[in-house]
Homo-oligomer: A and B are copies of this chain.
Amino acid sequence: MQEFKVRTDLAVELKEDVAAHSYPENGVSFQEEYIYDGRIKVTKVIIENSAGEELTGKPVGKYITVEAKELSQQDTDFHRDISEKIAVYIKELLPKKRKCRVLVVGLGNRMATPDALGPAVVDNLFITRNMDEQFLSEELLRKCGKYEVSGIVPGVMAMTGMESAEIVKGLVKTTKPHVVIAIDSLAARNTARLNTTIQIADTGINPGSGVGNHRMGLTEESIGVPVIAIGVPTVVDAATIVNDTMENILDIFSLSDKLKSMAQVLKDFSPAEKYALIREVIEPEIGNMYVTPKDIDENIKSLSFTLSEALNIIWSGGI
């Protein structure tokens, strides 16, 4: 089974699948903690070397995951607090410069609700690159002077005919940011993680990830500057829904004398084998579909404020 590769955008989901492979020796480390009275779970996954890459299919790097049920709910006070926590994790990954030029990229499709997280974050961003320092008060300059922020919503390939990476690469050439922060909607393997998880990684966006399945990656290698990726799972892979339901069916079969032994055959499959089986037999058109909650519009609104607020806290000197 060493050759098996899990298809998930979330490093934190690796644990579930890779558990049997005693990952620590394999260049993968996990670390969990609970903060904010246990309401927020923070997981740090580090892929340390090529063995870790081999096992997980994820590039070497640091993946911080913040999970909280309340993220999908509209509790303004909670969102303000979690924004401050997230700001700290993002700031840690930013280059330490006297004046840091940041380009924030809102990936995804503004017109398709579950894929509109990135555009919504950029719409609410505090942009400073165009400000004339002459006109800023000394106080504002002291607070905001450390970052020069620009933002872009590149649009999706079906609407632009261009890869997001081509667009961002061009901007990097002409505007010369030190770092790119890319916001994207992700696909989860687990419905419980929908709109309740934020992943921050210093590895950029990899090919095939995201709701829109970026064909090219958006990484330091492809665009020339480091890329911090911030992702939130807003859809579930259709195969996951099938898999979860099958598990429940098998559990019921196990209670029947007649069906017990057959259920056992399938139970003996590993999770990854079952998932692979399903992906193989699922109707091909389902690969072009996503599963998303009915109140996704409210989730996107609420999550995008949490993230834009987290970023704005960094450059307004709030932390």
Contacts and interface: CB of A to CB of B under 8 A. Distances in A.
Interface of A: 74, 109, 111-113, 115, 122-123, 126-130, 148-155, 157-162, 166-167, 169-175, 191-192, 211-212, 236, 238-239, 241-242, 244-246, 248-249, 251-252, 258-259, 261-263, 265, 277-278, 281-283, 285-286, 288-298
Interface of A is mostly: helix
Assembly stoichiometry (copies): 4
Given A111-B297, A158-B298, A167-B174, A282 B248 contact: yes
Nearest to A128: B161
Given A169-B174, A191-B283, 17 more contacts: A112-B294, A128-B161, A130-B158, A149-B161, A151-B155, A158-B295, A170-B170, A191-B285, A191-B286, A211-B294, A241-B241, A242-B246, A249-B281, A262-B262, A285-B293, A288-B295, A289-B294
A173 B127 CA distance: 25
B159 A127 contact: yes
A212 B248 CA distance: 26
Given A161-B151, A249-B278, A292 B295 contact: no
A191 B282 CA distance: 12
Contacts of A259: 262, 265
Given A159-B127, A167-B171, A277 B294 contact: no
Contacts of A286: 191, 241, 244-245, 291
A112 B151 contact: no
